[in-house]
Chain A
Amino acid sequence: MDWFVVTSALSLAAMYGLLGIGISLTWSSIGMLNLAHGFTFAAAGYGAWWASKNLVKAPTSGTDALIVGGAGILIGVIGGLCVGLIAFLPLHDRPNFPIRSLIATLAISLAGTQVFLLWFGPLNKPLPKVFSPVARALDRPKLEFGPISITWDRVGAIVCATLLCVIVLTWVRLSRRGIQMRAMMQNPEGAALVGVSVRSTGMLVMGICGGMAGLSAVLLSSTFFVSPSAGTQPLAKGLVIALLGGLGSVPGAVIASVLVGFTEALTAKYFGTGYTLFAQYVLVFGVLIVRPRGIGGLLAQVRE
Chain B
Amino acid sequence: MSTEASKEPVVREAPRQQLVGRRRLLLRIPVHADRTFRRRRWPWSKTSVVSVSGRFNPKTLGRERFVSHKAPLWWLVFLVLTLAIPLIAGTDKILTIASTFTIYASINLMWMLIMGTAGIFSLASLAVTGVAAYTACWMTINWSLPWPLMFPVGAVAGLLVGVIIAIPARRMDGMYYALLTLGVSEICRAYALQARWIGAQSQGSLSGGGGFIPDDIRFTATGQRIGYIAGFLLLLAALATYRLVNGQRLGLLLRASQKEDEAVSESMGIDFQRARLAVFLISSAALGVIGAFYAGYFRAASLSLFGTDLLLLLFAMIVIGGIGRAEGAVVGTLVVTVIDRYFIDTGAKRILLVAILMLISVLFTRGGAFGLKDQWQELRAKRRSSRRAARSTRRGQVLPEEAPDIHDKSLIYQRRYDHAQREHLKALINDDLMEEHRRSPTGLHSENLERVMLYFRKNDLAGKYCVYAIEPFKRYRIVALSGLPGVPPRTIDDRVYTTIDDAYHAVFLRRVNDLRSR
Q: A and B: partners? A: yes
Name the residue on B nearest A281 (C-beta): B183
Chain A, residues 63-85, CB within 8 Å of chain B (1/0): the string is 00000000000000000000000
A171 at the interface (CB under 8 A from B): no
**With A104-B363, A108-B359, A110-B312 in contact, do A278 and B190 touch (Cβ < 8 Å)?**
yes
Query: Which stretch, A150-158, A192-200, A239-247, touches the partner chain B?
Result: A239-247
A115 at the interface (CB under 8 A from B): yes
Residues of B with C-beta under 8 A to A33:
175
Q: How far is the CB of B127 from chain A (nearest CB, A)?
A: 12
Contact assessment for A274 and B363 in the assembled complex, using a CB-CB cutoff below 8 Å: no
Name the residue on A nearest B319 (C-beta): A103
Residues of B with C-beta under 8 A to A293:
172, 176
Contact assessment for B194 and A275 in the assembled complex, using a CB-CB cutoff below 8 Å: yes
> How many interface residues does chain B have, given as a range?
20 to 34
Residues of B with C-beta under 8 A to A278:
186-187, 190-191
Contact assessment for A111 and B352 in the assembled complex, using a CB-CB cutoff below 8 Å: yes
B429 at the interface (CB under 8 A from A): no
Contact assessment for A111 and B355 in the assembled complex, using a CB-CB cutoff below 8 Å: yes
Q: How far is the CB of A279 from chain B (nearest CB, A)?
A: 9
Residues of B with C-beta under 8 A to A239:
179
**With A274-B190, A277-B190, A292-B171 in contact, do A114 and B351 touch (Cβ < 8 Å)?**
yes
Residues of B with C-beta under 8 A to A100:
362
Contact assessment for B358 and A103 in the assembled complex, using a CB-CB cutoff below 8 Å: yes
**With A33-B175, A285-B183 in contact, do A107 and B190 touch (Cβ < 8 Å)?**
no
**Which listed residue (B183, B191, B308, B362) contacts A107, Cβ 8 A?**
B362
**Which listed residue (B168, B308, B359) contacts A104, Cβ 8 A?**
B359
Contact assessment for A118 and B352 in the assembled complex, using a CB-CB cutoff below 8 Å: yes
Contact assessment for B179 and A243 in the assembled complex, using a CB-CB cutoff below 8 Å: yes
> How many interface residues does chain A have, given as a range?
35 or more
Contact assessment for A247 and B175 in the assembled complex, using a CB-CB cutoff below 8 Å: yes
Chain A, residues 130-148, CB within 8 Å of chain B (1/0): the string is 0000000000000000000
Contact assessment for A282 and B187 in the assembled complex, using a CB-CB cutoff below 8 Å: yes
Contact assessment for A90 and B363 in the assembled complex, using a CB-CB cutoff below 8 Å: yes
Q: How far is the CB of A272 from chain B (nearest CB, A)?
A: 9
B330-374 residues with Cβ-Cβ distance < 8 A to A are 348-349, 351-352, 354-356, 358-359, 362-363
Complex A-B: 12 CB contacts under 8 Å: A90-B363, A106-B312, A110-B354, A118-B352, A243-B179, A274-B193, A275-B194, A281-B182, A281-B183, A292-B176, A293-B172, A304-B174
Chain B interface residues toward A at CB < 8 A = 168, 171-176, 179-180, 182-184, 186-187, 190-191, 193-194, 308, 312, 315-316, 319, 348-349, 351-352, 354-356, 358-359, 362-363
